[in-house]
Amino acid sequence: MGNGKGPKAKSKLLEITGESDFELACNGWELQDVVKTEDDEEIENECTICGQTHLNDNYLICYIKNGVVANIGSSCIKRFIRFKDIGSQEDSNRYFEKKKREINDIKSTRELLLEVLMDKPQSKYVLKFRSICANILQIKPDEFKGLYLSEQWFKLLSILNKNFLLTEKQEHRVKLILFNPRDVEVTKGKVRIDKPIYNGKIRHRVSNTLSKSGVYKNPSQIFGGSQ
């Protein structure tokens, strides 16, 4: 954001918060959502306080005092917005990066649930689902076993149920994936064939369990290292 937009942004921030003091207007926000323009054609795609357009990522933030929601670009957030009661801009920006990753991880679980709840999910989806769930709880994937029936497990279950309400069978499936992944029967996925296929023959997906899967023993084969 250019320097010329600073006064306009400050004026707009005072207007939407209803504050007369600029420092008060900067404090007390919460990040509600991250929306990519390519995923939502109806979003305004314009920063509420500086007017910048063509944003790739739209950050929906809420002013806690009056409930107003604004679409803000990352430049304005890092320059003007301080989340909750965080004192310094630097600490607020660190919180912003952490919260942004958390929101994106939660959205990813929504897409991955559809894959891992299949009778024989692909191993890559199971491993990615475990990795993202671990990120949300700020643990390592191999630390899940100690979390069964813990506060963190119920926190994760609450997050997953926001995507869609899990049935008892689906919840059991998620538990199996997280706490006993070696018992999950998986497929390796379709093998790409570059040569011509004759007589309509195709290669079928290979079924195995994660305990026998090379990618389970060495997840870096998929992700290129820990995430």
pLDDT at 219: 40
- Mean pLDDT value across the chain: 79
Q: pLDDT tens digits, residue range 169-189?
A: 998 999 889 888 888 888 886
| Rg of the chain, C-alpha, whole Å | 22
Q: Give the torsion through C-alpha atoms of 168, 173, 178, 184, to 10 deg.
A: 160
Res. 25: pLDDT tops 90: yes
Q: Which position has the higher pLDDT, 137 or 206?
A: 137
- pLDDT-derived band of residue 193, with 50, 70 and 90 as boundaries? very low
Q: pLDDT tens digits, residue range 82-109?
A: 998 787 999 999 999 999 988 888 888 8
Res. 163: pLDDT tops 80: no
Res. 208: pLDDT tops 50: no
Q: Which position has the higher pLDDT, 66 or 165?
A: 66
What are the residue boundaries of the structural domains of the chain, listed by start?
12-87, 104-223
Q: Which string of b and e fits 49-85 if b means at least 16 CB within 10 Å?
A: bbebeebeebbbbbbeeeeeebbbbbbbbbbbbbbee
Burial of 159 (0-12, 13-18, 19+ CB in 10 A): middle
Residues in the chain: 227
- pLDDT-derived band of residue 129, with 50, 70 and 90 as boundaries? very high
- pLDDT-derived band of residue 77, with 50, 70 and 90 as boundaries? very high
Residue position matching structure tokens 């929504």 = 110
pLDDT at 156: 85
Q: Which position has the higher pLDDT, 162 or 180?
A: 180
Quote the percentage of the chain above a pLDDT of 70: 76
